[in-house]
Structure 1
Amino acid sequence: MDVYDEIEIEDFTFDPATQLFHHPCPCGDKFAIALDDLLDGEDIAVCPSCSLMVRVIFEPEDLDEYVDQ
């Protein structure tokens, strides 16, 4: 699987209402990945408007602060 880039979890914005992490995509939309997907070990965030994907760089303990939000 070809990814556009690898981005640290700290560079994403977390929305507690939707439980999604977002990061700007070059196309003008946003890459998105759900907290539950990250907890399940998935690490690919996709852009809904184009074919680009990025790998989210994180350690499982990085997610602890988001689980209770």
Structure 2
Amino acid sequence: MSYDDVEIEDMEWSEELQAYTYPCPCGDLFQITKDDLRLGEDITRCPSCSLYITVVYNAEDFAGSTSKMNLEPSKQQPVAVA
């Protein structure tokens, strides 16, 4: 059973994360991308604790072609590995 059912309208779009976010009671953020929603994924877990939510949305709003973001070259940052 999920912690909560959250309407997509109650989530906030983050340009930085390119994902919808919703605050978790632990202080972190639940995150789900438009691509996740296009694929029919409606459950997202908190990266810091064991809670997860079910995102309630209209699948037709996210159906269709892939996002413009996926057609552009990746803007990856180098990561140092110790």
| TM norm structure 2 | 0.69
The answer to which structure, 1 or 2, has the higher relative contact order (CA under 8 A, 6+ apart) is 1
- Per-residue deviation, 1:19: 2.2
Q: Which deviations, in whole Å up to 9, do the C-alpha atoms of 1:21-55 show, x marking residues without a partner?
A: 10000001111111101110000021100010000
Match of 2:9 in 1: 10
Q: State the TM-score, normalizing by the size of structure 1.
A: 0.81
Query: Which has the higher mean CA deviation after the structures are superposed, 38-47 or 9-18?
Result: 9-18
Instruction: Describe how 1:5-44 pairs up with structure 2 within 5 A.
Output: 5-44=4-43
Structure 2: gaps (5+ residues): 70-82
Unaligned runs of 5+ in 1: none
Deviation (angstroms), 1:15: 1.9
Instruction: Please identify runs of 4+ aligned residues in structure 1 that moved more than 3 A.
Output: 61-64
How many residues end up aligned between the 2 structures?
A: 66
Bigger strand fraction: 1
Larger gyration radius, structure 1 or structure 2? 2
